[in-house]
Structure 1
Amino acid sequence: MRSGRKSSSVDKAFELIGAVSEAGGAGLTLGELAAEAGIAVSTTHRYTTSLLELGVLERDPAGAFHLGVTLIALAGQYLDEDGLRAAARPYLVDLVELSGETVHLGVPVGNRIVYVDKVESAKSVRLVSRIGSRVAMHSTAMGKAVLAVLDERRRAEILAAGLPARTGRTLTGAALLAELDLVRTRGFAIDDEENEEGVRCFGLPIMSVAGEPVGAFSVSAPAHRFSIDDCHRLAPAALAMAVNIGRRLGYPDRRGRRVSGTTTPTWSTGSGTPHRAPRPAPTKPPRPSEPTS
């Protein structure tokens, strides 16, 4: 990211932030960041030290810079006032009532999903989460929902940044690519204890007019009371909600029908290997109407 204006500290800071943002999930090393921003390495080091302290940037174990939680919090405030969060909120409430479980809303930031809103289950035993938390894309329902519909170049960048196994069920390599193909076909993703043992999640992307994911939402619950079958039964209503959220943002639905004729990989008892399970016949939950709020 280059410009002819580098006269002030603010200019330099924003050049660095912009360069990191444009780099996406792979991030930038100190040398790469200096070259991309057109700023001396010594100056870049001085500025990034301050930006790290402020939480504007973060640095991964490999030394690459990524956007930090301070920017994420600011983005969350913007979304709350004027965008995705306001559009999605009525549907998050509806989905909690329909599922009985906690629902999260997230946005892709770098190679992570960041929670920007949630509506908690009324049940006494529920998941603990925090708005502003960042979670991996490859091992979560919201993350896989987003990965599946990203353009190939961006998806490859994120996958190349590393796929650490969060549990014994985390999908990587060819298994993950096959899963993303399935998600793209049916329109929703399932995290079958892949990010946290004992937790199952069901997630869908929210699409822009350009066909890009601007966010995602998910249902999260203890696995013992939220089955794969439950995920499939929620799918028709949740897919309609995703379309309606997009419409509230001004994005027409261009995805067509989903769900029919798909299956979900499940874990065979004792083998530790996934197999395809027939999709249960969908029930007919009430189609969510467009809220007036």
Structure 2
Amino acid sequence: MSDTGGVREVKSAARTVELLELLAARGDRPARLQELADQLGVPRSSMYALLQTLIARGWVRTDITGSLYGIGLHALLTGTSYLDSDPRVRVVRPYLDEASQALGETIHMGRLDGRNVAYLATRESHEYLRTISRVGRRLPAHVGALGKALLAERDATDLPEGPYEALTPHSHTSRASLLADLAEVRSRGYSIDREEGVLGIVGFGFVLRYDSPATDAISCSVPRARLTPEHEAQIITVMREIRSKIEATAPGTGGAPHWR
């Protein structure tokens, strides 16, 4: 049993979280009992009992045959509560609206989550449809504008050796390649994702330095076919202004909890 901050991990709690994370990661692909038991390395009978407990409490759902399992409604309700209770998200949302109206493009807010970035808020462009940017989605930090803006704020020793997962032919797959890119991010003051996460989409990421080390960033995504030099310059100007407004407005910790 592993240690967490000097306290022994509760095995049943860890198994429950692992199951929920596994179901959430599958998205619209429901799982069967044996799949879940095999992937988590637990007896089939124990997995069945855990699933039934979570179904009764709304955290897992099953189909009418009782043979397929997926993430339940209470996971959404809890996630929504996280967003509603986060003061940073509340501050950033109106500025995402402002950026979206000024640029006509899709604007995101994301937060570093280990080696991934979680999308916390999104304003979609009416000009094109995105399928990867919904709130709650996680992407590897090394493939997107949000993640690279945040990784550039951290020490190079924090990066794993690799090789890294490639989501497109343009993704960084080596530590050396990513480090060279992050050096450019620090030099110019923002990140550029040229089809590294999604083919046909270019992103520009701007870290929010209201915390140290920074954990949040905003980005603008635009179809490559529509990205002219003039529009790119406009995006950079507007997003820099939006970042400055957010950093000037974001509340200090005050009497509120300082989450880690």
- With the shorter chain as reference, the TM-score category is 0.5 to 0.7
- 1:108 and 2:77 correspond: no
1:170 matched to which residue of 2?
171
* Structure 2: gaps (5+ residues): 26-38, 41-70, 253-260
- 1:203 and 2:205 correspond: yes
Shift in Å, 1:71:
8.6
The CA distance in 2 between the partners of 1:50 and 1:98, in whole Å, is 44
Judging changes above 3 Å, is the alpha-carbon distance between structure 1 residues 55 and 112 closer, same or farther for their aligned structure 2 residues?
A: same
Q: Which amino acid aligns with 1:50?
A: T
The 8 Å contact of residues 87 and 251 in structure 2, kept in 1 or not, is answered as: no
Q: Which amino acid aligns with 1:135?
A: L
Partner-residue secondary structure (3-state), 1:197: coil
Q: Give identity over the alignment, percent.
A: 27
Residue deviations 1:226-258 (CA, integer Å, cap 9, x gap): 35663343212211211221121146xxxxxxx
The CA distance in 1 between the partners of 2:92 and 2:228, in whole Å, is 25
Q: Which amino acid aligns with 1:39?
A: R
Judging changes above 3 Å, is the alpha-carbon distance between structure 1 residues 183 and 228 closer, same or farther for their aligned structure 2 residues?
A: farther
1:253-292 equivalences under 5 Å are none
Judging changes above 3 Å, is the alpha-carbon distance between structure 1 residues 162 and 244 closer, same or farther for their aligned structure 2 residues?
A: farther
- Bigger mean CA deviation after superposition, 80-89 or 112-121: 80-89
Shift in Å, 1:150:
2.1
1:51 matched to which residue of 2?
17
1:1-293 equivalences under 5 Å are 33-34=2-3, 37-39=6-8, 44=11, 46-55=12-21, 74=78, 77-123=81-127, 125-128=128-131, 129-153=133-157, 155-156=158-159, 159-160=160-161, 163-171=164-172, 172-210=174-212, 212-227=213-228, 230-250=231-251
Judging changes above 3 Å, is the alpha-carbon distance between structure 1 residues 215 and 57 closer, same or farther for their aligned structure 2 residues?
A: farther
Partner-residue secondary structure (3-state), 1:149: coil
Residue deviations 1:260-283 (CA, integer Å, cap 9, x gap): xxxxxxxxxxxxxxxxxxxxxxxx
Normalized against structure 2, the TM-score is what? 0.67
Q: Which amino acid aligns with 2:18?
A: L
Q: Which amino acid aligns with 2:109?
A: L
Q: Which amino acid aligns with 2:193?
A: D
Judging changes above 3 Å, is the alpha-carbon distance between structure 1 residues 134 and 247 closer, same or farther for their aligned structure 2 residues?
A: same
Shift in Å, 1:48:
2.0
The CA distance in 2 between the partners of 1:204 and 1:71, in whole Å, is 30
Judging changes above 3 Å, is the alpha-carbon distance between structure 1 residues 34 and 133 closer, same or farther for their aligned structure 2 residues?
A: same
Normalized against structure 1, the TM-score is what? 0.60
